[in-house]
Structure 1
């Protein structure tokens, strides 16, 4: 849970007065704490990378990715997991070492695969046989041999929202653990001239607070590894167990230290491999939300305060669904502070409403706040993951800026969009321009 520091009634975030940040950079505003991000990365190093032999940790970029984030992750000694050509291109432009990049995605396009091959990404995580065949053809044409993992669905489902559960048997991700299907895939990979199969990957879901499902997932995949070694002679060198470690959003969440997950993961992998007579492969984890989720806040300016007597008080803010679609997508919950009245007693219950033309554009239901008025500053907490990365221009609303803060210093890492940015890629077809001109000429003739 984020430490709430108050100075002179103002909410302070990583040494920065949030009221002054809003005054300088405007709202809505994403604010990311460099210190919190680095602290989480160092916990990954201390409790996993430095603690165990032959392990790797890669940051799941889909949670939050900018060129600046790439630089931070690189400096902290973590690898990077990307899931699209755009995320990969961001890493390329940031100068991130490609050998430390893992390229995921359940339906990578030929263009994305070609981009990955061209830039020599460290691993492709193959989701299906079609992708395997496509990558073989692209790698062969490029005269390169690429290293891959197979993503498999272990048939394990954790306690989380169905939209962020990924390890169950009925999932759009990965190759089924039907032994005929997966054996065929492994044989093809072993036969392909430009593919080097290194092992297996699974991911059980996101925002998980239990570790026993990792036990089940690992035991399942180790049995697969044993079968592949005994039946077709394939020895897995790598086992990627994904991420999904939960964080704090509200009091309903009970987050655990990283060691709660990784100690169980490593103990299970060692025991299962020993029992199966296998050499322990390199174990890889992919924390994303766990690294950045609690490192971010979003600042909003309060507009209308609309009281419906005896029912509810709605507080409108200058953002909402476009900068944070998670409440509308899967009923995500948040806590918030009135940042300019952070030391005042809580005396009202209000609902924070976004500005979109959608009844579902509600950021927080029934929030306890001080006496709230137009012009107040609201800080929604723990918005570092999947807010900026999911942001849209719905209702033609420009995306907010992103500011990185550290020990009282602040700098823009993503500029705020303006209305001109919304139109930058638009074009009007020539035939419509011609029709408009003809209409104008006809009007002129009629007038004459």
Structure 2
């Protein structure tokens, strides 16, 4: 059965006229896409270990593409489609064996990866052959992803990429035009050399769209100065709402939100409130001399802060406020303690 809608509210979260699609990596994300009335023919289902229930939900819902990631999934999806009397369009995810020179935890296209069928080992070719032979699967193409964020154009030329954004003022990601020239130019030239028609090309620029659109706000609480060592400025959030610095040392810019014109004159480390020494959002950054109650802003927080947030230490996840042309409205309320205990028996 497809995921049930849990609300009759119309989200209108998706604008088909923009020509955008969506990728999901779980049954929960598929349910949200359906609640938001995203055209399912524009939805791709990713993931290295989709469950039988998730694949059944996707097939029943009429999802546009399932990005198949393993031989196990090829067999499982074929059986599910046969039992449902349906056929399913798929992409085969290949691992091209290219090092994009980004953090090991965000590198996905090398041979030593949990994602995709390796080209070097011959598994990619075997997967394509199996997909073509499957009666209920329609192979529509290949999918590959090298990692994210990638600040070099060379990996995009050989092939693909993960669009980078500027998390700090020192970051200089390539422009969209440069990515396009590297990817499309290489694709066109290679097809010409091989004497084949260029295939349809789909890119996944999600981070570059939603990342810069979000700003995380924190309120300063305790301040701990260790003479000659470090000054810790603790805030009312941390790794529960932004795991990236603790997980793979992601760097962010930090600004004073309530004193934006004040001179940055203090070197501080922004610490989260969670019970982990690694719960640090930014180390040794400049801010106006902080005091309790100040509000700081961390830009470029839209892509992964909401989607990776957790209730670690049973802290409620923060609200989300949409701001446009001087007007604001809440689109997700702050969680309550009761919300976090809803599933307890």
**Bin of the TM-score, shorter chain as denominator length:** over 0.9
Give the 5 Å matches for 1:328-367. 328-367=246-285
Structure 2 counterpart SS, 1:388: helix
Q: Which of structures 1 and 2 has the larger relative contact order (alpha carbons within 8 angstroms, sep 6+)?
A: 1
Give the 5 Å matches for 1:54-203. 71-178=13-120, 180-203=122-145
Structure 2 counterpart SS, 1:316: strand
Contact 2:89–2:137 (8 Å) recurs in 1? yes
1:280 aligns with 2:198: yes
> What is residue 404 of structure 1 aligned with on the other side?
322
Give the 5 Å matches for 1:236-247. 241=160, 243-247=161-165
Instruction: Give distance in 2, aligned partners of 1:178 and 1:337.
Output: 46
Contact 1:244–1:288 (8 Å) recurs in 2? no
Q: 1:180 Cα deviation (Å)?
A: 4.2
Higher-Rg structure is 1
Instruction: Give distance in 1, aligned partners of 2:305 and 2:124.
Output: 36
The structure 2 residue matched to 1:306, chosen from 224, 236, 243, is 224
Instruction: Give distance in 1, aligned partners of 2:64 and 2:176.
Output: 25
Instruction: Give distance in 1, aligned partners of 2:122 and 2:283.
Output: 49
Using the TM superposition, name which of 172-181 and 188-197 deviates more: 172-181
Structure 1 counterpart SS, 2:73: helix
The structure 2 residue matched to 1:322, chosen from 227, 240, 254, is 240
Structure 1 residues 180, 349: CA separation in 2 closer, same or farther (over 3 Å shift)?
Answer: closer
The Cα offsets for residues 331-357 of structure 1, whole Å up to 9 and x where unpaired, read as: 111111111111111111111111111
> What is residue 6 of structure 2 aligned with on the other side?
none
Give the 5 Å matches for 1:240-259. 241=160, 243-259=161-177
Q: 1:187 Cα deviation (Å)?
A: 2.2
Structure 2 counterpart SS, 1:382: coil
List alignment gaps of at least 5 residues for structure 1.
Answer: 1-66, 218-240, 428-448
Instruction: Give distance in 1, aligned partners of 2:15 and 2:45.
Output: 16
> What is residue 291 of structure 1 aligned with on the other side?
209
> What is residue 5 of structure 2 aligned with on the other side?
none
TM-score by length of 1: 0.73
Q: 1:75 Cα deviation (Å)?
A: 4.5
Q: 1:90 Cα deviation (Å)?
A: 0.6
Using the TM superposition, name which of 323-332 and 174-183 deviates more: 174-183
Identify, as 1 or 2, the structure richer in helix.
1
Instruction: Give distance in 2, aligned partners of 1:181 and 1:353.
Output: 45
1:415 aligns with 2:333: yes
Q: 1:185 Cα deviation (Å)?
A: 2.0
Q: 1:214 Cα deviation (Å)?
A: 2.0
> What is residue 343 of structure 2 aligned with on the other side?
425
Give the 5 Å matches for 1:12-51. none
Instruction: Give distance in 2, aligned partners of 1:410 and 1:265.
Output: 38
Instruction: Give distance in 1, aligned partners of 2:14 and 2:329.
Output: 14
Instruction: Give distance in 1, aligned partners of 2:295 and 2:309.
Output: 21
Instruction: Give distance in 2, aligned partners of 1:374 and 1:142.
Output: 60
Q: 1:369 Cα deviation (Å)?
A: 1.2
RMSD: 1.5
> What is residue 182 of structure 2 aligned with on the other side?
264
Q: 1:178 Cα deviation (Å)?
A: 4.1
Contact 1:73–1:79 (8 Å) recurs in 2? no
Instruction: Give distance in 2, aligned partners of 1:134 and 1:383.
Output: 37
